[in-house]
Structure 1
Amino acid sequence: MSQSLCLFTICCSILLVGIKADIADCDYFDTVDLKRGFKFENGSYRYEDLIVPAHLTGEYDYKVTYDGDREPVPKHIRGCVCKLRPCIRLCCHSKKIMESDGTGCSADYINETLSYDYTLNVTLKDGTVLKRHILKDIILQEELPLPCQEHYSLNQELSDDDKWTLFDNGTLFRHYDQAFLSKQDYCLQPQMSGNGTAYSLAPYNCIIQPSLTMGYVKLVSVVFLAITIALYLWLPRFHSLHGMCSVLYFVCLMATFLLNVISMFRLAEEKRVFCLINGYAGYFMAMATFLWLSAISFDVWRHFGLHSAQIFQSSNRSMFLVYNLIAWSLAGFLTLVIFLVDQYLDEVTGYTLLPGVGMYSCWINTDSWSGMLYFYLPIAILISFNIIMYILTSRHIYEENKSRTKVLSKFEEKQQSRNRDNFGLYLYLFIIMGGSWLLEILAFICELEDVWKPFVTVNEIINSSQGIIIFLVTICNKELLRDIRDRILGKRTTGIELETCNMTQDYPLMQQGN
């Protein structure tokens, strides 16, 4: 009988311990460690000036890490004090500040001289906003783990996009994306105010990790661009002015994608100098990409619309040098502009005008309207130039065909038909290379205004797949595949085919009729 009673007592003790281990109906992030509290005989604790009843205490043998996992720790008593008084979660000790990169507290020692505004605006359930003193009206939770490994602060004094609202239950409302954050998702810590003279409390929340899916798509595009470039360099039909311009366009686009992928995968962030080089080089190659696209558009117009203009009838070699001088120098000038603005414009007063290379990522900041000014505005101007070139070229071809009344020989008729097909291919390329970036500008505006999200997603897919689309349009056609086969077999072009190729050698890309 005594053995049965002993076994029953042990089982009940185990069950009671299990029940007491976690506080019922209390989130871990609403508790504090009571090791500094005084325990009364009835099981309640005094924590600071607050009495925590026994039913709101419990024994814990774990702590919750930033990613929500449980990590074993020595047993200790915790109290659910946030049911008794509003709580705020500090990232570090109240006398410490966060590192500038948001990865941890600034120092191991406690700076007792650190002072800041100890008041916070707290919103009640009925919408009433009250000013609370964190040392008198609120419980400070200082020993909870940081929400994540990397954080960024919401500085509402510098940017309207960083507005936030703190509720009395500890929930933080982030205005720019209408997100409600629990105490597991953010913490508060002193931050230098906008005027740079004093500290005030600001929330640090986790860096939102973007999806890397488009990064992998861009890597696939890089592979297809590399194949396209190799074929352009290998096949004789592309050894011409237009072919060389196209190769340089593809090279710039491939380099832009590669540098952007490096930024997306954060491969250059360990050293700031590499991060800055990646950002400014990426911007340079992006601008060069569109300048070479404009060079191609101008060269097509020069070929079709300016037969009689002697000023443009210079050799291919000299024109290629002119194109190189204009494309690389303008891209370099634009890059120098954003570099100087980043270096000399004050981050506080000129926040909205900063290109922000290396500030948030190893790329130019395209998450604010400064991205429109430095990135999308030059692109829009160059695309507008390409549209004008296309319209002028199309009009000239239409007028020339309309005025032609003579009877054409079979050779001339074949050549005219080829030109029409070639210009149709140019239209396809223009839509791919220019039109996709025009959609990118529209998607940028939609993303800033948080509208038409499906359109933004579709645009990302199209823009990231440019290398694949260009390969399919320029390489995957019967004539070019036949040329590749003949090149492999060592077959030479002779007779009338050679004569046709010689007459149109300036624009072999335009010779890919269906």
Structure 2
Amino acid sequence: MKNYLRLLTHVLLISWCACNPCTRVESVDISAGVLLENGSVIYDGLEYPKSTWYEELADELVKRYGCPCIGRVCMWKCCGPGQTPFNGSCLDTGLAEVNPFNPPVYRGREPSNITAYGTFFYMHGHPCIDSYLVDTADVNEELFIQENGTLMEVAIGGTQWHLPTGYCVDMKYHNNSVAPRLVAAVCFPEENVSTDDSPLLYIAYAVGLLLSVPFLLATFLVYAMIPELRNLHGMCLMAYCAGLIVAFPFLAYLKLHVGRIGVAMTGCLVVAFIVYYAFQTSFFWLNVMCFDIWRTFSGYRGGSTNKRRDNKRFCLYAIYAWGVPAILTACTAGMQFSDNLPSHIVVPGFGSRRCWFVNWLSEFVYFFTPVLFLVVSNVIFFSVTAHRIRSIRQETAILKGAESSRSDKLKKDKQRYALYLKLFMVMGVNWTVELISFAVGGSNWYWIVVDISNIALGVVIFFIFVWKKKVRGLVQKRFRHMLGMPPVATDSRTGRWTTSSAPTEDTRISADETAIRLKDMH
């Protein structure tokens, strides 16, 4: 027992007082090696000086690990010596391409005069847990092992460089009639970048998105259950919330599985396209609401609204706000699954390295380009509308004394404009800053404020459109009606709710169906 404690103390001192000369990935177990008097270890014909090996406690035993990559260039071979990958496993083989393993070496894209077998020290196995396959059998993928051990990957998404610890290579074959070809298992980018964001950030982002969903759902249900709110503007808001209700849970799923989802899986692609379409519909419905408020003020005429005309206009809006995203999604899917495209064509790359876009350029081309167009158009709509509101202030003063009903409608439309402006400021401006963050780059911690406002969008929408005195009153009235209780009315002098069996101003409907006029609660 005393010897064990002494040994444990020795190992702890080593761990605390000195850093290991290399990482565990770059180490080999040399516990069976011969320890020389000068501190070097001889193992498998290779000498490890004292400064190139270290000891660790594993399973109550002290194991000795050597660092062969110190002073040498290492290359990771996916399978063991004399083995090749076949049908998902490593099998012993007598292929000349594997015995010895000697893949071509390049300087850039030009062949080098050095040989891999005589230059690199082979490490066997995968340097990471999760990786994606790059197969040179695909005409769109090329691999170039460089003289310094880095790997140059040329694919549809562009050229990428990988450090020796970020990939492994091997010769793969399917049957004896097909010549073996070089393949690589490349680690996901999240594992290669040492400055990558903490997993805690992705978990917090996902939790925030999920917490926002109940508020979006509550907003949707309130406007769906109350007839007074189910006008043209209310239905547009419901459609907008529906897109976010679908997008947020699936986006949270992606955030919780960053770097862990198997690529090229059907489920991975389905989630990516659902998130893409749902977010695009939400942006287009926001654009619809901005257009509608501009249309309201562009040739402003007071008076009542027509339910049938509003339903027809909503159908036209729906064709645009759901149809155009469907076309964009179809185009994105077409580019995703197209073969033999020129190398300069930017493709989405869903599932090649993660479930979302393969890189920032693909995301900008396919996702942020339509979003940027919509944000700019929304700014124009709001600017023109604001100018129009300012220009009719004098008319408003006249209306107050002449046509009170028309003046009241103008006041309500201006209130609705203010609500939509708040919504645009929350979503449109935030996503503009999100686009800037993509261009600038850096850790997500730098843009944490923008991310918080994005994931809290459901809460903001709820308080803007639902948590208002008038809407709360309509909700209370609706529930009282469902429970068979007498309706409530508001005392204009005290502002208090009182029970009444008489119809209120909010529910008064004319006999002519085409002249339905409900009080606008926006």
TM over 0.5, yes or no? yes
Query: Equivalent residue for 2:203?
Result: 212
Query: Equivalent residue for 1:117?
Result: 103
Following superposition, the deviation at residue 251 of structure 1 comes to: 0.4
For residue 140 of structure 1, the aligned residue among 118, 122, 142 is 122
Query: Equivalent residue for 1:276?
Result: 269
Question: What residue identity is the alignment partner of 2:122?
Answer: L
- Give a deviation string over 1:214-273, Cα, whole Å, max 9, x none: 111111111110111111112232111111111011001211112222333349859822
Query: Equivalent residue for 2:487?
Result: 491
2:129 paired with 1:149 = yes
Following superposition, the deviation at residue 412 of structure 1 comes to: 5.4
Once the two structures are superposed, the pairs formed by residues 123-202 of structure 1 within 5 Å of their partners are 133-142=115-124, 146-152=126-132, 186-190=166-170
- Give a deviation string over 1:300-356, Cα, whole Å, max 9, x none: 2233323569xx987112112212222222222111111111121437x44751112
Q: Name the SS of the counterpart of 1:420 in structure 2.
A: helix
- Give a deviation string over 1:131-175, Cα, whole Å, max 9, x none: 864432443232xx64432024799x9899x999997xx99999x
Q: Is the 8 A contact 1:44 1:53 kept in 2?
A: yes
Percent identical among aligned pairs is 21
Question: What residue identity is the alignment partner of 1:247?
Answer: M
- CA 1:287/1:357 → structure 2, altered by over 3 Å: closer, same or farther? same
- CA 1:469/1:37 → structure 2, altered by over 3 Å: closer, same or farther? same
2:282 paired with 1:295 = no
Q: Name the SS of the counterpart of 2:169 in structure 1.
A: strand
- CA 1:497/1:31 → structure 2, altered by over 3 Å: closer, same or farther? closer
For residue 306 of structure 1, the aligned residue among 280, 299, 303 is 299
Following superposition, the deviation at residue 375 of structure 1 comes to: 0.8
Q: Name the SS of the counterpart of 2:236 in structure 1.
A: helix
Q: Is the 8 A contact 1:232 1:247 kept in 2?
A: yes
Once the two structures are superposed, the pairs formed by residues 475-490 of structure 1 within 5 Å of their partners are 475-489=466-480, 490=486
CA distance in 2, matches of 1:112, 1:507: 82
Query: Equivalent residue for 1:387?
Result: 379
2:477 paired with 1:469 = no
Query: Equivalent residue for 2:424?
Result: 430
Following superposition, the deviation at residue 206 of structure 1 comes to: 5.0
Q: Is the 8 A contact 1:56 1:81 kept in 2?
A: no
Q: Name the SS of the counterpart of 1:140 in structure 2.
A: strand
2:255 paired with 1:264 = yes
Query: Equivalent residue for 1:52?
Result: 47
Query: Equivalent residue for 1:92?
Result: 79
CA distance in 2, matches of 1:455, 1:225: 27
- CA 1:371/1:59 → structure 2, altered by over 3 Å: closer, same or farther? closer
Provide the TM-score with structure 2 as the length reference. 0.69
- Runs of at least 5 residues in structure 1 that lack an aligned partner in the other structure: 1-9, 63-69, 123-129
Question: What residue identity is the alignment partner of 2:434?
Answer: E
Question: What residue identity is the alignment partner of 2:479?
Answer: I
Q: Is the 8 A contact 2:251 2:275 kept in 1?
A: yes
For residue 286 of structure 1, the aligned residue among 272, 279, 293 is 279
Following superposition, the deviation at residue 187 of structure 1 comes to: 4.9
CA distance in 1, matches of 2:437, 2:116: 43
CA distance in 1, matches of 2:283, 2:46: 68
2:298 paired with 1:316 = no
CA distance in 1, matches of 2:488, 2:169: 74
CA distance in 1, matches of 2:250, 2:263: 15
Query: Equivalent residue for 1:441?
Result: 435
Q: Is the 8 A contact 2:507 2:518 kept in 1?
A: no
Provide the TM-score with structure 1 as the length reference. 0.70
Following superposition, the deviation at residue 379 of structure 1 comes to: 1.2
- CA 1:382/1:131 → structure 2, altered by over 3 Å: closer, same or farther? same
RMSD of aligned Cα (Å): 5.2
Question: What residue identity is the alignment partner of 1:52?
Answer: E
CA distance in 2, matches of 1:54, 1:270: 42
- Runs of at least 5 residues in structure 2 that lack an aligned partner in the other structure: 173-178, 192-198, 481-485, 490-501
CA distance in 2, matches of 1:269, 1:55: 41
Question: What residue identity is the alignment partner of 1:149?
Answer: I
Q: Is the 8 A contact 1:33 1:77 kept in 2?
A: yes
- CA 1:147/1:409 → structure 2, altered by over 3 Å: closer, same or farther? same
